Amino acid sequence: MKLNKYFERSLWVFHLNTGSCNGCDIEIVAGLTPRYDLERFGIKLVGSPKHADVLLVTGPVTSKMADRVKRVYAQTPDPKAVIVVGTCGISGGVFYNSYNLSGSIDKVIPVDVYVPGCPPRPEAIINGVLQAWIKLEKLRKTLKDNSPAK
Amino acid sequence: MSNKTYSIPIGPVHPSLKEPMTFHFEIYGERIEKVHLAPGDNHRGIEFMGRQRNPIQIIYLAERICGICSASHPFAFCQAVENAMGIEVPEKAQYIRAIIAELERIHSHILWAGVAAHELGFDSVLFLSWRAREEVLDLLEYLTGNRINYGIFMIGGVRRDITSEQITRIKKTLDYYKEIYGKLEDIFLNDPTIALRTKKVGILSKEEAIQLSAVGPTARASGLNKDVRQDQPYAAYADLEVQAITPEVYSGKVNGDVYDRIVVRLLEIVQSIQIIEQCLANLPEGEIVAEEKLVKLLNLIKKAQGEGIGRHEAPRGEVIHYVKLNQSELPEVWKARAPTYNNLMPWIPMLIGQQIADIPIVLASIDPCIACMDRVTILDRKSGQKNILTKDDLHKLSVEKTRRMAQ
């Protein structure tokens, strides 16, 4: 795999907590800080989904948050990719039989990359971001090729 | 007056939080007049799920109440079950529990220091402290197998032993922290910018702290001499000398502001290092768990009847677990009370009278893991005009205030 092909521009990430225990969330920040240092590739967390290329979603979706997740997804501009970090967002994990969950994240919004683990290690999160990046560049290319201006 | 105040809702979507939470602020000009809290966005029904699992399974559920306190909740829960069943925990296991709990306190306080620096616009300190935090995570991974959610607690003891060669490694990490502590203290306590932004900000008086039953560093920074490890020693803490740390130790007086909370947390890092050293020096020999066979343990649980309470001083304050067993595999009642629950109400006196730009640092000062806020909507009721403030704008306001004050 030629990595440089996918480095067209910096990747901005919006992190959305849908009721996570915070374990995945601190591992995401650990991925950005000096030991793992994702920021050297221009990957950074942004404060608004409107600025983001990628949604990084953690946690099982609690009923109160389900609507908010959909709204944040709708606010993210296309082309976008969604990464689910942590087992509880993939299958409910340890919270599988709760009465207050709207199910896994892929039942609420479309998901591109799954990063399992409770919590996943920063290396796994970095790998997930890379997969999303590759997918995003492909999406971007398709959009460019099919644009009516051409 | 009232028709001139703005209403600002904050949350519930804010990145890197423990709990998504909603706030409503009534603002007059720049000053906060009223604060309304609306928690509940992160409700997963953990106690309900616990009533459908046996106590051994609940340990792993309790770990996932909070990823940062993933030693505190199982610690308190195991104590509650042991209390209900009358299990005697081997001495060595009690020491190992204390070591893991104190290592967690070091990691949690350094994490908080970084987040607080970030809220002030001091991102280089965030990166510096999070780099320092990786060392203790490495050690926890070496001792327990996991960076987060350690999975080391078991009813009646712990699941992994600390061997003599591991002790050398622990000492090495402690030496590292002793070395960099001076640097951390210099940055946080002597830096004029941090002092400008945190002194006389978010004040919680001693009376308010008592009335609103604040716990942990939030209460101690207001001058309350309150620490479960000191007041009601449990596990290995009974053998060790633990004194509650109040800001008097450092500056000779108590102001109860954000600066004092930084002082208390930094001094507690040193205290934790000393506790671990004492534990290592007195580490007894022997068993690490009262009942090794899980099937046998489960049978004992099935026969047990009674109530138990477990208390532990988590990095954020006192955590209490209550368990009622009634001759069944499943507990009849399980109740967990986390420290942030107590520390929510003290937010209100802290925030009233402050400026909008101080919201991030005051919210962060009780260490609820509220690091940033997604968006703030300023709604001018009179004109119906709507401005959206994102977390970035709020952060920018905070950074600008730092710059303004530094000039």
- Kindly report, residue by residue over B140-150, the tens digit of the pLDDT: 999 998 888 88
Contact B20 A19 (CB under 8 A): yes
pLDDT in tens, B163-216: 889 999 999 999 999 999 988 889 888 888 888 888 888 888 889 889 888 888
Cβ within 8 Å, pair A19-B44: yes
For residue A75, count other CB atoms closer than 10 A to its CB: 14
Residue B355 DSSP symbol: B
Q: What span, in angstroms and rounded, lies between the C-alpha atoms of B67 and B107?
A: 12
Class of domain B46-341: mainly alpha
Smallest Cα distance from A8 to chain B, Å: 25
8 Å CB contact of A100 and B44: yes
pLDDT bucket at A11, cuts 50 / 70 / 90? confident
Q: Where are the alpha helices (DSSP H) in B89-227?
A: 91-119, 123-144, 164-190, 192-198, 206-211, 216-221
Q: How many other CB atoms sit within 10 Å of the CB of residue B190?
A: 9
The answer to whether A74 faces chain B, any CB pair under 8 Å, is: no
Contact A21, A49 (CB under 8 A): no
Span A10-146 CATH architecture:
3-Layer(aba) Sandwich (3.40)
Q: Show contacts of B293-298: CB within 8 Å, 24+ apart.
A: B294/B56, B297/B56, B297/B155, B297/B156, B298/B54, B298/B56, B298/B329
A72:B41 CB<8 A: no
Residues B363-380 pLDDT 10s: 778 776 432 222 233 333
What is the SS3 assignment for chain A? CCHHHHCCCCCEEEEEECCCCCHHHHHHHHHHCCCCCHHHHCCEECCCHHHCCEEEEECCCEHHHHHHHHHHHHHCCCCCEEEEECHHHHHCHHHCCCCCECCCHHHCCCCCEEECCCCCCHHHHHHHHHHHHHHHHHHHHHHHHHCCCC
Q: Using the predicted structure, report yes or no on whether residue A62 has a pLDDT greater than 70.
A: yes
- Angle at CA of residue B313, ends B308 and B319, nearest 5°: 50
Among the partner-chain residues A23, A27, A99, the one whose CB lies closest to the CB of B48 is A99
State whether B148 and A26 contact (CB < 8 Å): yes
Task: Count other Cβ atoms within 10 Å, centred on residue A82.
Answer: 21
**Among B52, B149, B391, beta carbon nearest to A23:** B149
Q: What is the per-residue pLDDT for B76? A: 92
Which sign, positive or negative, has the C-alpha torsion B312, B317, B319, B320? positive
Quote the CA–CA distance of B25 and B352 in Å, as a whole number.
Answer: 9
Q: For B226-275, how does the pLDDT look when each residue is reduced to its tens digit (9 = 90+)?
A: 888 888 888 888 888 888 888 888 888 888 888 888 999 999 999 999 99
Distance from CA of A103 to the nearest CA of B (A): 11
Q: What residues of A are in contact with residue B64 (Cβ under 8 Å)? A: 21, 23, 88, 94-95, 118
